[in-house]
Structure 1
Amino acid sequence: MEAFLFHASIYLIAVVLAVPIASRLGLGSVLGYLVAGIIIGPVLNMTGTDTKDLQHFAEFGVVMMLFLIGLELEPRALWAMRDRLVGLGGLQIVVTALVVTLGVLALGYSWRIALTLGVILSLSSTAIVLQTLSEKQLMPTAGGRSAFSVLLMQDIAVIPILAFLPLLALPGARALAKAQAAETHVTLHFLQQLPPWGVTLVTLGAVAATVLAGHYLVRPLYAYVHRARLREVNTALALMIVVSIATLMLLVGLSPALGAFLAGVVLANSEFKHELESDIAPFKGLLLGLFFITVGAGMDFDLFFSQPVTLLGLALALMVAKGAVLYVLGRLFKLKSRNQWLFTLGLAQAGEFGFVLTAFSVKQRILPDSLAQSLLLVIALSMFLTPLFFILHDVIAKRMKDEGAAHEADEIDEQQPIIIAGVGRFGQVVNRMVTMSGFRTTVLDHDLKVIQLLRQFGFKGYVGDPTRPELLRAAGIGQARVLVVCLDDRAAATRLVAYVRRLREDIHIIARARDREHVFELYRAGADDIVREYFDGALRVGRYVLENAGLSDYEARELEKTFFKLDRAAVRDLADLWKPDLPTEKNAAYIARAKQLNRELEAALLARYSQTRSEKTETRTDTAAE
C-alpha cells in the first residue's frame, strides 16, 4: 500500500509541476507529460518496475478518447467522410508501409522483418495527435479532419494487421507462439478451437451486440439511472459502458479502442450524449496524461546512450519518410497551405499501437528481442519529437498569417434572454439593432480580437466556443428566450442548432445559413427562422436594378416582396426532397420540383407586375377624372 501511494504521489507531483511549465512555454501538455515521465523514470529512477503494468492501465485513456470521438460523429457524418477514411487513410497505411519496408530491406534485414516493421511504423499516434489538435482547436480545420480520418482508418486497420502479422512468422515459430498464447488466454484458446467461419461469427456477434446494446439497452438503463439524480451514479454508468465494451472486444481479439469508437458512434444521436461526454472527459484526460508519462518513463536510456546518433537518426529518418508520404497524399487530396503542413507534420510519428504490435510480433517469434528493444525506443523518440513538429507547424502557420488563435473562455457573469453565438460582420449588425432597441444580449465568440473590438465600441461580449455545452449553460441557455446562431463555421452552426433543440423545445432559434443546402441542414436540425446571409442584400440589389430599368419604386418593391414570399415557401418545399448524401445534380425529384417552382414563381411575378401596372393606370384615370 505504501509503495502504491508513493508512486501515485510521484506521478501526480510530476504532472502538477511539469505540465503547467510546458504549457506556459508554448510546448503543449503532451511534451510536458513526456518530459515529466523522463525525469521521474530514467533520470531519477523513481518509478520502480511497474511502468509496463501502469502503461497497460494508462492505455485505457486512448479507449476513452475514441469513445468520446465517436460521440461527436453521427453515422451520417461518418458515411460522408468515407472517401477520406478509405482513400486517404488506406493509401497512407499502404504507401508508408511500402516505403519503410524498402528502407529496412536496404539495411540488410529479411523481407519478413522488413514488412513487419513497415506495417508497425505505418501507424501514427492517435493519443498525441488528437490531444494536441483538441488543445490547439485545430480539429475543425481541413488538415485536422484529414488527420482524424487517417487516424481512424489506422485504428480500424489494427484488426487486420493483428491477423496478418502471424503469417509472417516461420511455420514452426508460428505454431509455438499459438500454443503459448492459448495457454495464457482462455478465450483465445476457445477461439482457436473454432473453424474460421466460427471465429468470424463470434467477432461479428460481438460487434452486433455492441450496436444493439447501444440502441436498445443503454438508453433505458441511462433513463433508469438518471432518475436517481446522483451524479456519481451517472459517472459510474458512463465508465461501465466503456469498460464493458473494451472487455468484450478484448475477449474476441478485437481492438478495445475500435469497439469504444463504434459504441460512441451508435450513441451519437442519443439525448444524453453530452452528459456522457462530461462524465468521461476528466478520466480520459487524466489517463491520457498518465499514458504519456509512462511512455517517457519507459524509455531505455542505457540503450539510447549506447548508440544515440543511430537511434535518433532512425527516428528522424522515419518521420521524414512518413512526412514525405503525407505531403504527397495531402497534395493529392487537395490540402493547401497551413492544412497541408498540419497534416504532414502532425502524423509523421509512430504510434502507441506500435508498442502493442511490437510486443505481439515478439510473441509470434517474428522479431528478435534485441531488435524489438531498439524499435520501441525509435517509436518513443518519434512520439517525443511530435510536439516539436507541432511547434514547427505553429511557426509556419504564423508566417502564413494564420488568424483566429484560440483563447481560454471568459467567465460569464450575467445571463440575458437573448444569446447571440458569433459576432462577425453579420452578428454585429444583429447585436447592434437588438441592443439599441432596448434589449439585453449575451454575445459569445471564439475570436478574442472580435470580442475586444466589440468592447471598444461599448458592447459586451465573452470569449469562448459557443458550441461547448458548459459555456452555453453558463450563458443561460436553460432560461433564454431566443438563440441567434451567426457562426462562420457551417458544420458548427448546424451542430449548435441540433444540440440546443434537443436540449429545449420551447426556445426560438434563429440561424444564419451560408447557402440553400445549409438552409436545409438547419431546418432539419430544428431552427425556427433561417436567413441566408446574402439573400436579403441580393433582393435589394435586384430591386434597385428594376427601378433603374424603368419600374417605379412601388412596382419594384412589390415584386421584391412577392419574390421573397414565394422563394421562402419554395425552400421549405424543397427541404423535404433534399438528400444530404446525394449530390444535387443527381437528385432527379429535387431538380424537377425546383424547375416547377421556378415556373410558378415566374408566373406569379408577371401576374403581380401586371396587377401593379393596372393599379397604376386606374390611379391615373381617377386622378384625371377628378
Structure 2
Amino acid sequence: MDSHHFLRTAVVFLLATVIAVPLTKRFRLGAVLGYLLAGVAIGPQLLGLVSDTEGVATISEFGVVLMLFVIGLELSPQRLWVMRRSVFGTGLLQVLASSMAIGAAAYFLFGLSGRAAAIVGGSLALSSTAFGLQILAERKEAGAAYGRQVFAVLLFQDLAAIPLIAAVPLLASSTAQSFDLFAVLRTIGVILAVVVGGRYLLRPVFRFVARADSVEVFTATALLVVMGVALLMELAGVSATLGAFLAGMLLADSEYRHEMESNIEPFKGLLLGLFFISVGMSMDISLLLHRPGLIFGLVAGLLLLKSVLLWPLGRLLGGLNRSDTLRMLVLLACGGEFAFVVLRQAAEQQLIDIGQRDALVLTITLTMALTPLLVVLAAKVLNVMPKKPLREFDSIDTAPPRVIIAGFGRVGQIIARVLRAQGIPFVALEHSAEQVDFSRRFGTINLFFGDPARPELLRAAQADKAEVFVLATDDPEANLRTARLVRRQYPHLKIIARARNRQHVFRLMDLGVDEPVRETFHSSLKITRKTLEALGLSHELAVDRVERFRRHDEDLLKKQALVYDDETKLMQSTRDALVDLQRLFEADAEPSAERERRRDPAVPLTGDD
C-alpha cells in the first residue's frame, strides 16, 4: 500500500468517525452504532470510499484481542467469587438456555448441521458488552439492581465467548464420524503452557521493565505480551483471543494491572472502533432489499426469543421487579460484538456459508442498532405507566415524632443514627421496599415503606405534630414534589433539604426552604482545606481561606437565587463574583489583614465539618 493510498484511507476513516459517532452519541444511541454506520457509509455498497474490507478487517481484529486482554485484567478470582451467584447463576442459565433454543431453531427450522447450529446458537446467545455497559454508564444506572444483574450476565458471556471462539476450529477439524482428539489435546497443552509460563515469567518481566521507569517501554512490553501470547496460540491452531484473555487473567492480581489497563486503553478503543467500522463495511445491505422478510423475521425472532428466556431469570434468580426486569431484557436481548468474530471464523472454517454469515451479521447489527431506541422507549413506557407499589405502604403506628426523615439512603441513615443516639423521636419514610428491608435487618426502628410525597402517608406519620421535616432523598424532582406538599399542608414545619446542585437550591428556595444543604459542598470545602495544607499552608491559614470562600459563595448563592432564571445575569454575576474573590484573597495576603484576622474572633480556626 503506497503512502498516498494509506493517508487517503486513514483520512476517510477518521472523517467518518468524527461525523458519525458524535451524531449517534448526541441522540444517546451509543458510539458503537456510530462506528457501524460510518462503516456502512464508506463501504463498497454505498460511497465506496474504501474497498479493501479484508485488509481492514485483519488489522481491526486486533482490537478484539486487546478487548479480551482488558477483560481478563478485570476478572481477578476474588471479584468473580464475590459475584459468583449472579455470574455463574443467572449468566450461566442465560447462555445455556439461549444457546439451546437458538441452536434448536437453526437446526430444525433452517436446516443447519449440528455443528453449525451449535456455533450459531452460542454466538447469538451473547449480548453486546460495549452497548450494555455504555448505556448503563450514560444513564448512571450501573449501580441499580438491574444494572448489577446486566453486568453479571455480560461478564459470564465474555467468559463464555472464549471457549466458543476456541471451539470453532475444533468443530471444523472434526467430522460427524470422528473427532480430532489430537486437536483437543494440543489446545489443552498450549493453554496449560501459557498459564504455567505466564505465571512464573510475566511478573518478573514486568518488574524488570518497571525499573527502567519509562512509560513507553512499559506500554511496549504490555503490547508485546498480548501480541506474543496471541501469536503463540494462533501458531498452535488455537484462537488468538483466547491467548489474550489468558494473559490478562494471569496479570489480574499483579501490581501493574491498573497501569497496563490505562496504557492499553487508547489502543483498544481505536482498534475496537476500527473493528466495528470493518463490520459495517462488510454488511450486505442488499439483503434488506432482496430478502427483507427473512432479515426482519430474524431480528424479531432473536429479540423475542431472548426476551422470553430472560424474563424468568430476572424475576426469579435476579429478584427484580417487573420494571427492572424489562430494563434488563431490553439491554440483553440484542446480539453482541463477539458474534461477529465467531461467525467470521465459522465462515472461514466452512461451518456456515458466506450467505448465512452475512444474514446473521446484518441481523445482529440491526438488533444492536435497535437497542438504544428500545431503551429510550422502555424508559418512556415505565414513566407513563402508573407506578403501583409491589406491596402496600406500611401502616405507621408510633408515637408523635419531632422529626420526619424523607429518604433513608446514606444521608438519611446518618441523621437517623444521631437522632436515635440523642433520644429524639423520629419517623423515617423510604419509597424503596428493597432499601427498607435491607435497613431493617440492622435493627432500624421507626422506618416505614411509603412515598413521602403522598398526603395520606404524611398524615399517618403525624406530620402535624412534628417540628422538623428533613428531605434526604437523592432524587431532585421527588425532593421538590415533597417540599411543595409539605410547605402547602404543614407550613409550621421547618424544612431542611438536601440539594444536588445550585439549580436545585434555587428551586427549593423558591418554595420557601431556607438554606438548602448542598450535598457535596461541605465535603468539597474540607478536601480543599486538606489540599492547601498539603501544599504547605498552615492549618489556620488554610481554614481562613476556605471559610472566606464559604461565606463568599453563600452570599453569591443568595444573590443568584433572585436572577437564576435569567442566564445572562446569572453568568455576569458569576464573573463578577470571581473578580471579587480574587481581590479578597489579594487583600488577605497583606500583613495588616493577617494581624486583623488574628484579632478577629469571628473567624474560626478549625476546619473540620
The structural deviation recorded for 1:348 is: 1.6
Is 1:383 aligned to residue 368 of structure 2? Answer: yes
* 2:318 paired residue number: 334
The structural deviation recorded for 1:154 is: 2.2
* 1:107 paired residue number: 109
Q: How does 1:44-123 map to 2 (within 5 A)?
A: 44-112=46-114, 113-123=116-126
Secondary structure class of the residue paired with 1:38? helix
Is 1:129 aligned to residue 132 of structure 2? Answer: yes
Conservation of the 8 A alpha-carbon contact between 2:86 and 2:149? no
Change (3 A) 1:447 1:76: farther
Q: How does 1:247-396 map to 2 (within 5 A)?
A: 247-337=231-321, 338-395=323-380
Conservation of the 8 A alpha-carbon contact between 1:101 and 1:118? yes
Secondary structure class of the residue paired with 2:364? helix
* 2:464 paired residue number: none
Which of 159, 167, 171 is 1:165 aligned to? Answer: 171
Superposed CA offset, 1:348-391 (max 9, x none): 22233333333333344432333333233223333333333343
Change (3 A) 1:236 1:364: closer
Distance in 2, matches of 1:281 and 1:447, equals: 34
Secondary structure class of the residue paired with 1:270? coil
Change (3 A) 1:167 1:135: farther
* 2:392 paired residue number: none
The structural deviation recorded for 1:168 is: 7.2
Distance in 2, matches of 1:320 and 1:49, equals: 36
The structural deviation recorded for 1:393 is: 4.6
Gaps of 5+ in 1: 176-191, 403-421, 431-445, 467-471, 482-626
Superposed CA offset, 1:1-29 (max 9, x none): 21111111111111111211222222222
TM-score, normalised with respect to structure 2: 0.59
Distance in 2, matches of 1:479 and 1:61, equals: 42
* 2:489 paired residue number: none
Distance in 1, matches of 2:154 and 2:532, equals: 31
Distance in 2, matches of 1:477 and 1:323, equals: 54
Superposed CA offset, 1:570-590 (max 9, x none): xxxxxxxxxxxxxxxxxxxxx
* 1:596 paired residue number: none
Distance in 2, matches of 1:429 and 1:236, equals: 54
Distance in 2, matches of 1:54 and 1:80, equals: 40
Distance in 2, matches of 1:168 and 1:196, equals: 10
Change (3 A) 1:45 1:264: same
Which of 186, 195, 201 is 2:189 aligned to? Answer: 201
Conservation of the 8 A alpha-carbon contact between 2:30 and 2:135? yes
The structural deviation recorded for 1:462 is: 6.8
Q: Which amino acid aligns with 2:38?
A: A
* 2:603 paired residue number: none
The structural deviation recorded for 1:73 is: 3.8
Distance in 2, matches of 1:14 and 1:250, equals: 32
Which of 9, 13, 27 is 2:29 aligned to? Answer: 27
Distance in 2, matches of 1:308 and 1:85, equals: 37
Distance in 1, matches of 2:533 and 2:129, equals: 35
The structural deviation recorded for 1:311 is: 0.8
The structural deviation recorded for 1:84 is: 3.2
Superposed CA offset, 1:101-125 (max 9, x none): 3323453515525444323322333
Q: Which amino acid aligns with 1:122?
A: A
Give me the identity figure in percent: 35
* 2:211 paired residue number: 224
Superposed CA offset, 1:27-57 (max 9, x none): 2222222222222225643343322332332
* 1:12 paired residue number: 14
Change (3 A) 1:367 1:74: closer
Distance in 1, matches of 2:38 and 2:368, equals: 14
Gaps of 5+ in 2: 388-408, 418-473, 477-497, 507-514, 537-609
Secondary structure class of the residue paired with 2:216? helix
Distance in 1, matches of 2:343 and 2:160, equals: 16
Secondary structure class of the residue paired with 1:48? coil
Change (3 A) 1:73 1:366: closer
The structural deviation recorded for 1:429 is: 12
Which of 145, 149, 174 is 1:143 aligned to? Answer: 149
Superposed CA offset, 1:103-158 (max 9, x none): 23453515525444323322333343344444444444323332333322322332
The structural deviation recorded for 1:427 is: 8.3
Q: Which amino acid aligns with 2:199?
A: V
Conservation of the 8 A alpha-carbon contact between 1:123 and 1:354? yes
Conservation of the 8 A alpha-carbon contact between 2:346 and 2:352? yes
Superposed CA offset, 1:371-416 (max 9, x none): 33323322333333333334345445656899xxxxxxxxxxxxxx
Distance in 2, matches of 1:232 and 1:330, equals: 45
The structural deviation recorded for 1:286 is: 1.8
Conservation of the 8 A alpha-carbon contact between 1:34 and 1:292? yes
The structural deviation recorded for 1:247 is: 2.7
The structural deviation recorded for 1:480 is: 8.4
The structural deviation recorded for 1:300 is: 0.8
Q: Which amino acid aligns with 1:320?
A: L
Is 1:452 aligned to residue 501 of structure 2? Answer: yes
Q: Which amino acid aligns with 1:27?
A: L
Change (3 A) 1:249 1:21: same
Q: How does 1:358-507 map to 2 (within 5 A)?
A: 358-395=343-380, 424=411, 450-452=499-501, 457=515, 479=534
Conservation of the 8 A alpha-carbon contact between 1:89 and 1:151? yes
Distance in 1, matches of 2:98 and 2:260, equals: 36
Secondary structure class of the residue paired with 2:211? helix
Change (3 A) 1:458 1:354: closer
Distance in 2, matches of 1:87 and 1:285, equals: 30
- Which stretch shows the higher mean deviation, 336-345 or 391-400? 391-400
Conservation of the 8 A alpha-carbon contact between 1:169 and 1:364? no
* 1:41 paired residue number: 43
Superposed CA offset, 1:514-541 (max 9, x none): xxxxxxxxxxxxxxxxxxxxxxxxxxxx
The structural deviation recorded for 1:220 is: 0.9
Distance in 1, matches of 2:238 and 2:141, equals: 30
Superposed CA offset, 1:311-335 (max 9, x none): 1221221121112212222223124
* 2:488 paired residue number: none
